[in-house]
Structure 1
């Protein structure tokens, strides 16, 4: 799949797929990759591990967008889908703004609207879910803004600092988006 560019008022969303990530690691230097992804050493190592260890199977993949601030032309975060199951038409949405000084400015609300629309219309998703910590008030507000419904809590679902923590599961179905 070739690179897709989507626009919002303040952001350019540049797609990153497994094939694009592999291409970047085969054709660019480390410094060029860090600049392209707008990341730091830790982010570079994360993407390098994805490149080397694999990001998809015959049924599960990912599709994400780099969020690029149009004014500065620099990446400020990412938003997209992981555990994208093409057979069952579902995926888990994730989002991240890289620096604290870019948060609380409405960028993620702007990006997520476009990413959700893309997921339902272009990736043909039927279900989009999000797993968040119950104490993550900004994420909870963001998901509720777009009509996500809390389904329940997954007990001891993920590990943070060697401690198993719960995840609250929220979902949005295609017919609810329309």
Structure 2
């Protein structure tokens, strides 16, 4: 899976492996507090220089991590990012991460489309049987999204993340494919 050779798509979106050229979009998204405040590393503004140093590693698809840019199928403009992480081929499980970086595409079902495509890919091409994730409990929109997509609550890490001056719980959710 290198470059543009492997694209997963439906009528509305395409998922393609990340490329160095995606750096300008990632830079904009990573520096948006609304996009990043609840994500794993939290909101930490980053210079373009810092991001560019890390980009080759982000773009590399490995046996353990697959990252895809979510594109609008009509105009090929980047919308967000979805990835499968910590892939374990013995236990046939992994984690999923997803965000819509372009706020014009929020609440349009793009995240659901991307998730369905990546689940199908994980099941049919990577032989994954279970996907898990972590979500900050206070991120009501994300919690609702994962519930609607059949990710069941299996545990809570109490006061696990420090966000905007307070500690927040993190839910662990999973789904069998």
Deviations, residues 16-72 of structure 1 (Å, cap 9, x unaligned): 4xxxx6xx5xxxxxxx4535xx33367554463264699799xx7211211011222
| TM-score, normalised by the number of residues in structure 2 | 0.73
2:23 and 2:52 in contact (8 A); partners too = no
Q: Which residue of 1 aligns with 2:2?
A: 2
CA RMSD of aligned residues (A): 3.0
Q: Which residue of 1 aligns with 2:121?
A: 118
1:19-168 equivalent positions in 2, closer than 5 A? 24=20, 32=21, 34=23, 38-40=25-27, 45-46=50-51, 48-49=53-54, 51=56, 61-160=64-163, 164-168=167-171
1:150 Cα offset (Å):
0.6
Give the length in aligned residue pairs: 157
Q: Indicate the SS of the match to 2:2.
A: coil
Q: 1:41 to 1:107 in 2, by over 3 A?
A: closer
Query: Whole-Å Cα distance in 2 between the matches of residues 82 and 155 of structure 1?
Result: 23
In structure 2, list runs of 5 or more residues that go unmatched: 31-47
Q: 1:47 to 1:158 in 2, by over 3 A?
A: farther
